[in-house]
């Protein structure tokens, strides 16, 4: 492992989404975005729905649509456990756009049978996926 990198593993219940040496990571924590660099102090934090930006060992940025989870940094190794994490190539734009439109319709409705919080979360997920796809 080089002095200016650290190990990053991004895992979902289904599989390892990313596993390699990286130069930095920026994630959407529950208290705002946070950056992780080599030799970061030990940390355990929860993550929100948002874009996970990885700068790989060659300095190339990669973005993933992250659906919440947890990030642990210890001994120059970061592990992210997420419900879902998707590379841009894995995102179906039409499906994400359709999900966004459905969520926007649910958010705008005021009927008692609509779970507003679930609709807002679905909208945030869809918007994040579309942003990653556009990047």
pLDDT recorded at residue 122: 82
Q: Say how many CA atoms lie within 13 Å of 39 toward its Cβ.
A: 3
Q: pLDDT tens digits, residue range 14-29? A: 999 999 999 999 999 9
Domains 6-87 and 92-134 share a fold: no
| Domain boundaries, given as residue ranges, for the chain | 6-87, 92-134
Q: Which CATH number fits domain 6-87: 3.90.600.10, 3.40.50.720, 2.60.15.10, 1.10.10.60?
A: 2.60.15.10
Buried b (16+ CB within 10 A) or exposed e, 68-105: bbebebeeeebbbbbebbbebeebeeeebeebbeebee
CATH of domain 92-134: 1.20.5.440
Q: pLDDT tens digits, residue range 63-98? A: 999 998 999 999 999 999 999 999 888 877 888 878
pLDDT recorded at residue 112: 57
The residues that bridge with 96 in the sheet, in sequence order, are none
Q: What is the pTM of this model?
A: 0.81
Out of 74-78, 119-123, 125-129, the most confident range is: 74-78
């Amino acid at each position: 492992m080089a002095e200016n990198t650290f190990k990053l593993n991004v895992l979902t219940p289904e599989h390892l989404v990313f596993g390699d040496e990286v130069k930095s990571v920026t994630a959407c924590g529950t208290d705002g975005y946070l950056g992780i660099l080599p030799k970061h102090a030990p940390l355990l934090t929860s993550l929100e729905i948002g874009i996970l930006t990885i700068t790989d060992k060659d300095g190339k940025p990669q973005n993933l649509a992250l659906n919440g989870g947890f990030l642990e940094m210890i001994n120059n190794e970061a592990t992210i456990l997420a419900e879902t994490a998707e590379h841009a190539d894995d995102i179906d734009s039409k499906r994400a756009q359709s999900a966004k439109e459905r969520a926007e319709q649910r958010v705008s409705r005021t009927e008692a049978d609509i779970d507003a919080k679930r609709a807002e979360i679905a909208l945030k997920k869809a918007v994040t996926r579309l942003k990653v796809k556009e990047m």
